[in-house]
Chain A
Amino acid sequence: MSTSASDTQTWNAATLPSNDNVNAYSFSVDLNGQWFTQKGKMIAYYGQVRFEALSAGPLDALVAASFHSPLYAQDWIVAQGQGKLLLADRGFDVNSYDLDDGNLTIRAGNLLAFEPGLELKQSIIPGFLTLIGTGRFVAASNGPVHFVEPPIRVDPQALLGWADCPSPCHHYDHSYMRGAIGAARMVFGVGGASGEEHQFAFTGEGTVLMQSSEVVMNDDVLLRDLEGQIGTVGTSGLQRLHQTIAQRLAAERQS
């Protein structure tokens, strides 16, 4: 039998790249100390590596210094020890980026790992995280990443992140909100639309990162964000929310 298909290269602990890509879909971290990684993205490792949840006591100082997002703390762990750590995510393209005293905001589900030299904070835009400082981080994208410069309007699903430019604002097509159907859409949040009425608009100096598809991780970021903000509304606000939710639930049951 003679066959033709791509041949596989063999790696070992010594030949695996150090803080670089193994192939387009996998990244090798040369671990010597600590890295923050997202849960479930480790596929293999050589050496002595331990994985600890952020709530682990000995990590308190590290978390206090580098991780400022209680909302996402349950998604993240710290890998510590010595060895080579392979990371991958759903067969997505994986890339590493160096920040030099900079800042970059990225979709929370796409950030795989970062060095503790970087500080993680929650972005104003729900579902995005901001990294500030100096260090390397690893991110996944569905298809290659494209770098574009503002001014630009980007589909929310294709947006991967942005660096150095001010946070984006929402942009809606005027016709989307016009007329009876538009009003109904505003109330119920559904309707026959082209799906392209809503964009993120970027202005100013900087770089916008886009992926070449609209596949995003299906996670409960929005819900968690809402829950996180419930603490900021008072009793009257909670009652109003309660009414709104009851109305929506009743409408859902009828339909």
Chain B
Amino acid sequence: MRLLPFDYATRNLGRSPGRLVLAVLGSALVVLLVIASAAFVRGMGSSLSLPEENSNVIFLGAGSEESVERSEVSTRAAEVVATLPSVRTRLGERYVSPEVHIALAIRTEESQVEGRLTPVRGVRPTAYLVHSQVHIVGGRTPTPGADELMVGGLVGGQLGVDASRLALGKTLLIDGRPWSIVGHFRAPHTVMDAEIWMALTDLQVVGQRDDLSCVVVTLDPALGDFTDAEVLAAQRLDLELTAMREVDYYGALARFYAPIRAMVLVTASLIALGGILGGLNTMVAAFAARVREVGTLQVLGYPRRAIILSFVQESVIVAATGALIAGVVGKLLLDGIAVRFSMGAFGLVVDAPVLAIGIAAGIILGIVGALPPTLRCMKLPVGQALRG
């Protein structure tokens, strides 16, 4: 099939610069919304998922499988868990991390408003072995008893403050008491990125508790598997423990939040549909004004498919341009933005798959937006089309 030249489509776009700008912006807005939704779903999903090779096991208080913050584990239980033979050991250090998790109202020194509830994790140095996703990117780990803490990469977004307010040496207030920031860490695409970490004993003092929230251990596959942890929890009923694979724990959380993600997707789809219908309206008007041109091209011998393809090309160029703009804006403005939720916060993820979804949405928008008005133009008999 002989086609109309590609630049026939591109040049036609210049016929009405005002309409072109509006169409591109409209497409950019719809695609940006799709990108934001996809980034939300992907950000939340990735923060609640762990790689399959993760061999961590969380020991929680029995009956607290759904929330580490409500869990209570005795220090005695932690000692017993540490003796599990299949726990990984390296240079004599056993991969056992007793932890306290509490959400505390925290604010910066400069802030006059009430503090925001922020997840705080009290840890021992072994936590950095067990949670291998955590990388210290500035400063050092907090010293126990020195009122020091470390902040994750998304804490600024969680507290709603600029990163400069969380610089090393700055102070955060917990119940009015100042804590110095001595370290920065990143744990991208995990809930830990939105956490504040301090020494285990310090958080026990702040939280007025002498027990733990959980014990996280890393198993050595060569020495044993999850069954060992399950057996321990089942046999030692006196310890009141439940063992869960860390992957399963966050998997359950992900399932808990699945309806929210679905709602976001449905909302985005509905708004995108509204955008498409609005775009259709514009396209119908734009193409209706070109009925005579459609008739002329047919008289010149162009097959209908060639004309439809050219009109769809125009629309796809507009929509794809909008999608590209949305992609750049999304990457620059949305990527990494902290979104608070009950587990703390997660960062919006605008990565290659999300951008691909945005571009695909733009192209679909272009095709779906152009086909009905083009086919409508084509339905007219040529003679009638020539009369406009």
Do A and B associate with each other? Answer: no
B interface list, Cβ under 8 A from A: none
